[in-house]
A and B are shown apart, each in its own frame.
Chain A
């Protein structure tokens, strides 16, 4: 009886021992799988010292630095346009010939009038001689006055003729006032010019320029007088040219500057507001109207701790990242995700520069397979 009882309990013990060892064996062999089911896996990156590069890429059209509208003040018909858009012209080169036939007709009329006046003058002089002979004082004075008046009329007419002759001489063609490039031709052969200038001429001596709308974060790092050398003329014969920054006009309108929002998460205040920037280009082959691609890459000078943008989260207290903290325990190192408040000083599309709260070489969680809150235990 005693033996049987003892045998039964031994079987139980054997079973229990087998179960215990099996449990330990399963936990040992399938440990990684089981661990994967219970802890979120995190992907980390070391916070490194670096700087934030702000990049801008855009297109612009080359415009001349100085242009001059060439028009015919007399409004004559255009006889012939001698240049076309894009032509290079030298100083005093003939650009347009105007039809002066109407002016010549007018001149002929004036000459005829002059002759008529001269003929009537002869008549007046005859009248004067007759008055002297008669000895009538009153008639003499009237004849003298008439002669004087006619002389003035003739002088005036002669002046008009001279003036018309001069304007015909000058206005029968339009000349280039300086060496440059024809950027616009509005005049048409045989047509009376409308309101717009006949030809627009760009001054080669003054060079070309482009105007760009640049985001505030990039514009904030630019200085007037700086040389930009990543300007590429697009098209068939693309080539690289350089330019000098001439003006920077902040896009901020008066009184619209927003007060900085909080100090812990204060990002670049002008980051959202674009600035208008003018760059003057010095290149002999430019004609104006070309499309250029402009690349600007500016790196902030100060070296700070940077983290990838994916690692930065926001809550009502500001920006924070999850750092990986290892706690040494009797079971070895256990890793926890710790919420660390940071102060953002600068950022671009990829990295964020952090001023406070984070140290170099600290492990920052970039991504995880599960939802993280402060203090979540994770696996690497």
Chain B
């Protein structure tokens, strides 16, 4: 019986290792390719798609996908970081959009979530349902009314056209409410008996306990808004104001090396944030009942 358990454990480990490798493979390939020269990248990828069709000039050869560069070069990084200011410009654009959204929505979301989770007032659940409804609708559905409102507010082509709707998003409220619902009433009641007001209870009792939830929310929001495409594409017509997420879409076949380098730099903040908040994140996801 023990042996059986150990064997199945081993099998699972192998299976998950394979899954993990499959997940990590594209990331690794991006990282390695970003250090290859453009010529080497062409050798690697130009064959793809032509392999089978030998009649039309395709080569009957094995796919030459190298996992180690022949010649290590940082030229692509030089191109991205030094020879052109565009990437950096877009990077700081992204940061200036995402950071206020993450901070704002975490703050607004946790306050609203406290009200929904810990206060009793008439129509609370119905109001929460309405919140949920807005979250359930995909962005494309609310695009036109969003556009009209932003146009009427005169925010078109300004970063606040993205930041303001981002701060008041429903997702933060929903997630934090789910998380705070798991905080026992006994704690808030005890604080109330000790004479604490709502703000004190929120800051002193609920917020420290909701830390993992806040971290998870921050990571999820960061990833979500770091990768947003539609909002900046529609609301920011000025190329100088557009964020990094629109940049990768512009990379063409002649600049694949640059694309790999840019992708590596692009995902670095997200990876770092995830690694930093990993333990909180897992805990936060578990307690809020949301699964990725």
The chain A residues found within 8 Å of chain B, CB to CB, are: 6, 9-10, 13-14, 16-17, 20, 23-24, 27-28, 31, 34-35, 38-39, 329-332, 334, 377
B25: A residues at CB distance < 8 A: none
- Asked if residues B255 and A329 are in contact (CB atoms below 8 Å), the reply is yes
Asked if B259 CB lies within 8 Å of chain A CBs, one says yes
- Tell me the smallest distance from the CB of B104 to a CB of chain A, in Å: 21
Interface membership of B233, Cβ < 8 A:
no
**Total B residues in contact with A, Cβ cutoff 8 Å:** 31
Partner of B79, one of A17, A20, A331: A331
In the complex, what's the smallest C-beta–C-beta distance from B31 to chain A, in angstroms?
14
- Contact residue among B81, B254, B262, B275 (Cβ-Cβ distance under 8 Å from A23): B81
When C-beta atoms are compared, the residue in chain A nearest to B80 turns out to be A331
Say whether B82 faces chain A, with CB atoms less than 8 Å apart: yes
Closest B residue to A377 using CB positions:
B83
CA distance A17 to B250 in the complex (A): 27
The CB with the most chain B CB atoms within 10 A, among A17, A23, A331, is that of A331
CA distance A271 to B234 in the complex (A): 64
**A330 & B259 in contact (Cβ 8 Å cutoff):** yes
Within 8 A of A (CB), among B217-276: 247-248, 250-252, 254-255, 258-259, 262, 265, 268-269, 272, 275-276
Q: Which of the candidate stretches B86-94, B160-168, B186-194 sits at the interface with the other chain?
A: B86-94
Residues of B within 8 A of A6 (CB): 279
Name 5 extra pairs, CB < 8 A, besides A13-B272, A330-B248.
A23-B81, A24-B81, A39-B83, A329-B258, A331-B83
Is B282 an interface residue, CB under 8 A from the partner? no
Please state if A330 and B81 are interface contacts (CB–CB under 8 Å): no
With A and B bound together, what is the CA distance between A56 and B268 in angstroms?
Answer: 68
B197 at the interface (CB under 8 A from A): no
Contact B83 A17 (CB under 8 A): no
* B247 / chain A contacts, CB cutoff of 8 Å: 330
Q: In the complex, how many angstroms separate the beta carbon of A179 from the nearest chain B beta carbon?
A: 82
Q: Are B258 and A334 in contact (CB under 8 A)?
A: no
**Interface contact B250-A330, CB-CB below 8 Å:** yes
Complex formed: what's the CA distance from A14 to B273 in Å? 9
Chain B residues lying within 8 Å of A17, measured Cβ to Cβ, are 269, 272, 276
A10 to B79, CA, bound (A): 31
Is the Cβ of B83 less than 8 Å from the Cβ of A38? yes
CA distance A151 to B268 in the complex (A): 143
Q: A17-B272, A329-B254, A331-B258 are in contact. Are A24 and B91 (CB under 8 A)?
A: yes
Contact B276 A334 (CB under 8 A): no
Check B82–A332 contact: CB distance below 8 A: no
The answer to whether B80 touches A28, judged by C-beta atoms less than 8 angstroms apart, is no
- Is B135's CB within 8 Å of the partner chain A? no
B82 in complex: contacting residue of A14, A27, A377, CB < 8 Å: A27
Q: Is B49 an interface residue (CB 8 A)?
A: no
Cβ 8 A contact of B258, one of A20, A31, A330: A330
Given known contacts A6-B279, A28-B92, A329-B255, A334 and B84 CB-to-CB distance under 8 angstroms: yes
Q: How far is the CB of B274 from chain A (nearest CB, A)?
A: 10
Task: Name the residue on A nearest B274 (C-beta).
Answer: A13
**A13: shortest Cβ distance to chain B, in Å?**
5
CB <8 Å contact, A27 and B276? no
Q: Which residue of B is nearest A331, CB measured?
A: B84
- Partner pick for A27 among B81, B248, B268, CB 8 A cutoff: B81
In the complex, what residues of B have CB within 8 A of residue A377's CB?
83
In chain B, what residue has the closest Cβ to A27? B81
Which chain B residues numbered 65 to 93 have a C-beta less than 8 Å away from chain A? 78-89, 91-92
A331 CB contacts on chain B under 8 angstroms: 79-80, 83-84, 86-87, 255, 258
B82: A residues at CB distance < 8 A:
27, 31, 34-35, 38
Q: Can you sample 7 A-B contacts with CB below 8 Å?
A: A10-B276, A13-B272, A24-B91, A24-B92, A24-B265, A38-B82, A330-B250
Give the residues in chain A near B89, CB-CB below 8 Å: 28
A105, chain B: closest CB distance, angstroms: 108
Q: How distant is the Cα of A34 from the Cα of B82 in the complex, in angstroms?
A: 6
For the complex, give the distance between the alpha carbons of A369 and B118 in Å.
70
The smallest beta-carbon distance between B163 and chain A, in angstroms, is 20
| Interchain CB contact (< 8 A) of A20 among B254, B268, B275, B279 | B268
Tell me, in angstroms, the Cα distance from A51 to B79 when the chains sit together. Answer: 42
Whether A20 contacts B80 by the Cβ 8 Å rule is: no
Chain B neighbourhood of A28, CB < 8 A: 85, 88-89, 92
Give Cα A10–Cα B215 distance, bound, in whole angstroms: 14
Cα separation A334 to B254 with both chains bound (whole Å): 13
Instruction: Contact check, B86 vs A332: say whether CB atoms are below 8 A apart.
Output: yes
**The one of A10, A14, A20, A330 that contacts B262, using a Cβ cutoff of 8 Å:** A330
Residue of B at shortest CB range from A32? B85
Closest to A2 in B: B279
For residue A132, give the distance in angstroms from its CB to the closest CB of chain B: 141
Q: Are A13 and B83 in contact (CB under 8 A)?
A: no
Partner of B88, one of A16, A24, A329, A330: A24
In contact, A330 and B255 (Cβ under 8 angstroms): yes
A24 partner residues in chain B, CB cutoff 8 A: 81, 88, 91-92, 265
**CB distance A38 to B78 under 8 Å?**
yes
B34 to chain A, nearest CB (A): 14
Distance from B46 Cβ to chain A, minimum over Cβ atoms (Å): 19
By a CB distance below 8 angstroms, the chain A residues around B91 are 24
Most buried by A among B80, B85, B252, B258: B85
Q: Within the complex, what minimum Cβ distance (angstroms) separates A12 from chain B?
A: 9
| In the complex, per-residue mask of B84-121: 1 if CB is within 8 Å of any chain A CB, else 0 | 11111101100000000000000000000000000000
- A14-B276 in contact (CB<8A): yes
User: Which chain A residue lies CB-closest to B273?
Assistant: A17
- List chain A residues, Cβ under 8 A from B275: 9, 13
Residues of A contacting B85 in the complex (Cβ-Cβ under 8 angstroms): 28, 31, 332
The 6 closest A-B pairs by CB, nearest first: A331-B84, A330-B251, A332-B86, A330-B250, A27-B81, A28-B88
